[in-house]
Amino acid sequence: MSEELNIPYKKENIIRCLCPTCPVQENSVCVREKIMKTQEKLHGDEDLKPEDYPGMYCANGKAECEDIDTGKDCVCPDCGVYKEFELENAKPDFLYCKDGKAKK
């Protein structure tokens, strides 16, 4: 059985996360709404919950938004979080928004 990777769900990683810029999400109304709310929370001291943020799928699991297009190309390999945690060796190795958390 695969072991889930421990990728901290914290503000620093959320800021580095590229999920909100991914082509998979570019036409999602749900993602746009969540990003606007997230921006406000990132500037304050309020904690972000995975269901509030359209990203960090490598850490928090599948997408909350159902109007994403997983047929488009993913940007995971360009992400600082992906590189730091060597997610090219994880399963799934991309498209976490569709396939869940990264695991060893």
Give residue for tokens 């359209």: 54
pLDDT of residue 2: 73
**Distance in angstroms (rounded) separating the CA atoms of residues 41 and 6:** 23
Inside any domain, residue 104: no
- Is residue 15 included in any domain, yes or no? yes
- Token output for 38: 């997230």
Give a yes or no: residue 48 inside a domain. yes
Full domain range(s) for residue 94: 11-99
Could you tell me if residue 83 is inside a domain? yes
HSE of 65, CA atoms in CB hemisphere, 13 A = 25
Mark residue 95 as left, alpha or beta (left: phi above 0; alpha: psi -120 to 50; beta: remaining): left
Is 86 part of any domain? yes
Tokens 């972000």 belong to residue: 48
What 8-state DSSP symbol labels residue 27?
Answer: T
Q: In degrees to the nearest 10, what's the CA dihedral of 30, 35, 19, 64?
A: -40
Residue 32 lies in a domain: yes
Tally of structural domains, the chain = 1
39-64 pLDDT, tens digit per residue, is 888 887 777 888 888 889 998 888 88
Q: pLDDT tens digits, residue range 81-91? A: 999 999 999 99
Look at residue 1 and tell me if it is in a domain.
Answer: no
| Residue 21 to residue 55: CA distance in whole angstroms | 9
